[in-house]
């Protein structure tokens, strides 16, 4: 749409860098065959891009073995592989109330159908989980600690290094949901003591939808919860044990991998710190502007230390959905309203009963003008609301 101000980068990044669109098109036209299934040159060349992208992503996370980088459809898919492949009857898991449904629902299913016991650690008034609260809940049968890295509701980045250190000390596998953080915040699995990372390609990694993955550190294993074709050792009756085949099933999303490859290259060229700095400068501007409007409540935005450019707010006396509809209809501003698939976070924030919050997600292509317009628009909506 003409002149749309897109502030819904928490849902997916848009637009993508031009390189992503052009590379996906040229790659798929030239190399769009099924890699790893045959030995002809074109097939090998397609496979080379898949391998190169594995390598880039493993490097991005400081993972030592690119084969332990497995592609999935998105982070929901990767998180399902983790939660169903690492927990079984009699196990205990620890997570937080800031999680997305892609963590919560697999855990609810594991609890309901397999009796896995789960503890949900609340975040504090600033939006952070206390690592000691996690430590207090570790038991002899705790088999997984799984934590959202950066919140898709309030943008807080959890203290994963401290949590990881505790998990390592107690010998409990530690997984993070890096859906919002990968591409915005550096993730070094060694330094942060992380065992498994789930990521999605279409958000901050600037790739297309339908591609994501997970990295599994050496020494940690995920059981098969699926089985199927791998393109190699077809006579074996059982799905292969070795990575990446272990967690990859059927033909992958080749054009998605190409897009992700181009997205990663763009991030490398720009520099993750520069991208983050740009987004946080705009986030600061947005928060300062919204804070000055009497009648706007911001959630957990007191300071921007350990944050990404995702914020949530409500206009007093107004349903979040109505604010979003006005921003869209009257001002051509796209943002997201509702619970953002994180119902426990809204229960804790007290926003579940009022239809959730209005969320603004800032991306690398947003500008100061976008933010100024959004602040003015919210101010005008508040003025009209007050006159009612
Ligand atoms: C924190 C978080 N986790 C998981 C997901 C799921 O991502 P996907 O829909 O790409 O699987 C999202 C997407 O909104 C998210 O923000």
- Judged on CB neighbours under 10 Å (0-12, 13-18, 19+), 366 is buried
331 and 221 co-located in one domain: no
Cα dihedral across residues 205, 208, 209, 211: positive or negative: negative
380 and 255 co-located in one domain: no
147 and 23 co-located in one domain: yes
How far apart (Å, rounded) are the C-alpha atoms in residues 388 and 299? 25
How far apart (Å, rounded) are the C-alpha atoms in residues 272 and 62? 15
Split into its structural domains, the chain has a count of 2
At which residue do the structure tokens 């609301």 appear? 385
Q: Distances from the Cα of 6 to the Cαs of 12, 169, 302, in angstroms?
A: 10, 44, 24
pLDDT for res 1: 62
153 and 23 co-located in one domain: yes
Domain boundary among 254, 269, 284: 269
Tell me the CA–centroid distance for residue 40 and ligand 1, in Å. 37
How far apart (Å, rounded) are the C-alpha atoms in residues 97 and 80? 18
Domain containing 227 equals 18-269
Residue 324 φ then ψ, to 5°: -65, -40
292 and 216 co-located in one domain: no
**pLDDT by 10-residue block (mean), the chain, 388 residues:** 90 98 97 86 93 97 98 98 98 98 98 98 97 98 98 98 98 98 97 98 98 97 94 92 96 97 98 97 96 94 90 95 96 95 94 93 98 98 89
- Say what the alpha-carbon torsion angle 182, 35, 55, 157 is, to the nearest 10 degrees: 10
283 and 330 co-located in one domain: yes
253 and 114 co-located in one domain: yes
Q: Is the CB of 75 under 6 A from ligand 1?
A: yes
213 and 355 co-located in one domain: no
Tell me the CA–centroid distance for residue 199 and ligand 1, in Å. 8
Q: Is the CB of 74 under 6 A from ligand 1?
A: yes
Domain boundary among 269, 304, 332: 269
For residue 228, give both structure tokens.
């199927």
Residue of the CA atom closest to atom 15 of ligand 1: 179
259 and 374 co-located in one domain: no
For residue 249, give both structure tokens.
């099933």
Q: Is the CB of 100 under 6 A from ligand 1?
A: yes
Cis link prior to 174 (omega < 30° from 0)? no
* CATH classification at residue 110: 3.40.640.10
Alpha helices (H) along 138-253: 160-170
**pTM of the shown model:** 0.97
Question: Helix and strand tally (H, E) in the chain?
Answer: 11, 13
Domain boundary among 251, 269, 287: 269
Ligand 1 atom at shortest distance from the alpha carbon of 202: 10
174 and 109 co-located in one domain: yes
Q: Which of 368, 367, 378, 370 is nearest to 298 (CA)?
A: 378
Tell me the CA–centroid distance for residue 140 and ligand 1, in Å. 30
């Amino acid at each position: 749409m003409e002149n749309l101000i897109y502030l819904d980068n928490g849902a997916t990044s848009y637009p993508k860098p031009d390189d992503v669109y052009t590379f996906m098109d040229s790659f798929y036209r030239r190399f769009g065959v099924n890699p790893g299934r045959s030995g002809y040159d074109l097939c090998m060349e397609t496979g080379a891009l898949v391998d190169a992208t594995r390598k880039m992503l493993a490097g991005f996370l400081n993972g030592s073995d690119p084969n332990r980088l497995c592609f999935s459809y998105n982070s929901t898919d990767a998180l399902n592989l983790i939660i169903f492949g690492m927990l079984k009857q009699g196990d205990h898991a620890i997570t937080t109330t800031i999680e997305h449904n892609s963590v919560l629902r697999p855990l609810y299913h594991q609890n309901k159908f397999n009796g896995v016991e789960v503890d949900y650690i609340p975040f504090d008034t600033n939006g952070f989980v206390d690592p000691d609260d996690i430590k207090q809940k570790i038991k002899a049968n705790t088999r997984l600690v799984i934590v959202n890295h950066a919140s898709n509701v309030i943008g807080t980045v959890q203290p994963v290094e401290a949590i990881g250190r505790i998990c390592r000390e107690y010998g409990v596998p530690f997984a993070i949901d890096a859906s919002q953080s990968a591409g915005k915040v550096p993730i070094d699995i060694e330094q942060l003591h992380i065992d498994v990372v789930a990521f999605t390609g279409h958000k901050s990694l600037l790739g297309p939808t339908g591609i994501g993955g997970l990295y599994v550190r050496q020494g940690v294993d995920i059981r098969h919860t699926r089985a199927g074709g791998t393109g190699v050792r077809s006579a074996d009756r059982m799905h292969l044990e070795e990575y990446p085949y272990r967690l990859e099933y059927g033909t992958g999303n080749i054009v998605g991998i190409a897009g992700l490859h181009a997205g990663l290259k763009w991030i490398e060229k720009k520099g993750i710190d520069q991208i983050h700095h740009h987004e946080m400068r705009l986030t600061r501007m947005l928060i300062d502007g919204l804070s000055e409007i009497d009648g706007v409540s911001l959630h957990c935005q007191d300071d921007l230390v350990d944050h990404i450019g995702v914020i949530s707010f409500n206009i007093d006396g107004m349903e979040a959905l109505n604010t979003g509809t006005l921003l869209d209809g009257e001002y051509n501003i796209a943002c997201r309203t509702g619970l953002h698939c994180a119902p426990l976070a809204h229960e804790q924030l007290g926003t579940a009963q009022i239809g959730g919050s209005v969320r603004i997600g800032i991306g690398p292509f947003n500008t100061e003008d976008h933010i100024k317009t959004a602040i003015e628009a919210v101010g005008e909506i508040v003025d009209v609301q007050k006159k009612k």
